[in-house]
Amino acid sequence: MKHYDVIVIGGGPMGLATAAELSKTDKSTLLIEQYNFINEKGSSAGMSRQFRVQYAQKYMAELAVESIRYWDALQETTNDELIGKVGSLWFGDPALSSQEGGIQAAMDVMDELCIPYTPLTAEQIEAQFPFKDIPKKYNGFFQKDGGIIDFNATQKALYTICNGAKNVDLKANTPVTNIQSLENGNIIVTANGEDITTEKLVLTPGAYVNDILRFFNLSVDIDIWEMSSAYYKKTEDIELPTWFVFQEPQNTSLFYGFPEVDWSHPGYIRVAPDIPDRIIKDPSQRTGVPSEKSLGYNEAWVRDHMIGLDTTSQFTATCLITLSNNNKELLLDTLPDSVNNNENIILYTGGWAAKFVPLLGKILSDLALTNTTEYDISNFKIDYLPAK
């Protein structure tokens, strides 16, 4: 039987980042992906993501700040700009707290961690950025380290590292059909009719997590949000940072957006509602069709509050976000001790995690190699359930 020191299952950004970290070691590594690499079939669909360091929780802000040096290291490997550092603008109703945080709580954490930011009134936001008719009671801040992640370029950079590494094998279009974790320490992964053994397994299946956990008779309680986004044609020479607006009611009024970039519909600007079109349990339930309702809210926001954009939604798409159902920001843990060798089987899934990709690669590879990480992952423990 073919043997690897580490097998990583799930070749999305987290799996690629893990294998890219492992490529720096002498450990033989296999990364298995059920589809082609850099696909749009999981949580990483959609080209742009937001990078930000502000969080309502100190431990999340610390991780985001820490991730910068891993992004810088990845940036050294490619000529593509991975994060366009245009800054991050958060504004809205100061009383509101959503799952993305809350303005005051994030400012308190930034104060505690000495992260620089500029507080802004509604008038200052309108004066400095192309927004209009912002309610006077709104406030917000601008944080300069935020930006727009080119998620395609990020995955390409990671793939290039893995592909060029002597100790990393990449298998695309290879669904895993069984996993057995034996009492003798061996873990057997079956894929394409072939049994492959390892002692260390990293699972990075994203939205497909319950497809993999069923091999251990386990599941996790996740919701998968299918979310819409659209692009709007620029009619004036406007410049935007990445931004997020917090308002009530949250199920119709949370929006976020991006600057114009030359790698995704130049001449257009992406704006999206931060609400689910549909909450699904399995990626196979994805429709790929943006809901008229959320695009309607989005267009109304663009019409009523943005300057310099045509209000017709174009290049619409949906993406999937896998979220924990017990308010955990990320899900990252070993398997429970009902599973043989559970300390050697590490699972990551879920969360608004694009901003952490290279850091999570480091954490997952450290856990695979040494069963420890220098980072505090205690907040991401997984409450496993029996398989459904």
Asked if 49 is an active-site residue, the reply is no
**Closer residue to ligand BEZ in complex, CB, 189/224:** 224
Of 203, 291, 232, 287, which Cα lies nearest the Cα of 14? Answer: 203
Contacting residue, 21, 62, 93, 100, with ligand BEZ by CB under 6 A = 100
Asked if 52 is an active-site residue, the reply is yes
Taking CB atoms within 8 Å and a gap of at least 24, the contacts of 100-105 are 100/244, 100/246, 100/254, 100/274, 100/352, 101/54, 101/55, 101/56, 102/56, 102/246, 103/139, 103/140, 103/141, 103/246, 105/56
Asked if 319 is an active-site residue, the reply is yes
**Closer residue to ligand BEZ in complex, CB, 208/255:** 255
**Closer residue to ligand BEZ in complex, CB, 52/200:** 52
**Closer residue to ligand BEZ in complex, CB, 274/366:** 274
Residue 174's Cα: distance from chain center in Å? 23
Q: Which of 21, 274, 329, 333 is catalytic?
A: 274
Least CB distance to ligand BEZ at residue 146 (A):
8
Q: Which of 159, 231, 256, 348 is catalytic?
A: 256
Q: Which of 55, 301, 348, 352 is catalytic?
A: 352
**Closer residue to ligand BEZ in complex, CB, 226/274:** 274
Contacting residue, 70, 352, 375, 384, with ligand BEZ by CB under 6 A = 352
Of 101, 93, 14, 21, which Cα lies nearest the Cα of 57? Answer: 101
Asked if 208 is an active-site residue, the reply is no
Residues in the chain: 388
50 interacts with ligand BEZ by CB under 6 A: yes
Least CB distance to ligand BEZ at residue 274 (A):
5
Residue 326's Cα: distance from chain center in Å? 18
270 interacts with ligand BEZ by CB under 6 A: no
384 interacts with ligand BEZ by CB under 6 A: no
Of 129, 1, 22, which Cα lies nearest the Cα of 346? Answer: 22
The Cα–Cα gap between 104 and 360 comes to 27
* DSSP code of residue 367: H
State the amino acid at position 352 in one-letter form.
Answer: W
Least CB distance to ligand BEZ at residue 110 (A):
15
Least CB distance to ligand BEZ at residue 154 (A):
15
Asked if 304 is an active-site residue, the reply is no
Helices (H), 224-383: 250-253, 292-305, 357-370
Handedness of CA 87, 332, 189, 219 (dihedral sign): negative
247 interacts with ligand BEZ by CB under 6 A: no
52 interacts with ligand BEZ by CB under 6 A: yes
Residue nearest to ligand BEZ as judged by C-beta position: 352
The 272-291 contact track toward ligand BEZ, x by CB under 6 A, reads --x-----------------
Asked if 133 is an active-site residue, the reply is no
Total residues in contact with ligand BEZ, by rule CB under 6 A: 7
Q: Determine whether 278 is exposed, middle or buried from the number of CB atoms within 10 Å of its CB (0-12, 13-18, 19+).
A: middle
Q: Which of 208, 270, 319, 348 is catalytic?
A: 319
258 interacts with ligand BEZ by CB under 6 A: no
Asked if 355 is an active-site residue, the reply is yes
256 interacts with ligand BEZ by CB under 6 A: yes
**Closer residue to ligand BEZ in complex, CB, 91/352:** 352
Helices (H), 216-338: 250-253, 292-305
Q: What is the secondary structure of 85-152 as a DSSP string?
A: ---EEEEE-TT---TT--HHHHHHHHHHTT---EEEEHHHHHHHSSB----TT-EEEEETT-EEEEHH
Least CB distance to ligand BEZ at residue 119 (A):
19
Helix axes 13-22, 151-164, angle to 10 degrees: 40
Whether 326 and 342 have beta carbons less than 8 Å apart is answered as: no
**Closer residue to ligand BEZ in complex, CB, 147/283:** 147
**Closer residue to ligand BEZ in complex, CB, 147/205:** 147
Handedness of CA 60, 111, 53, 319 (dihedral sign): positive
Please report, as ranges, the residues that interact with ligand BEZ according to CB under 6 A: 50, 52, 100, 244, 256, 274, 352
Residues involved in catalysis: 52, 100, 256, 274, 319, 352, 355
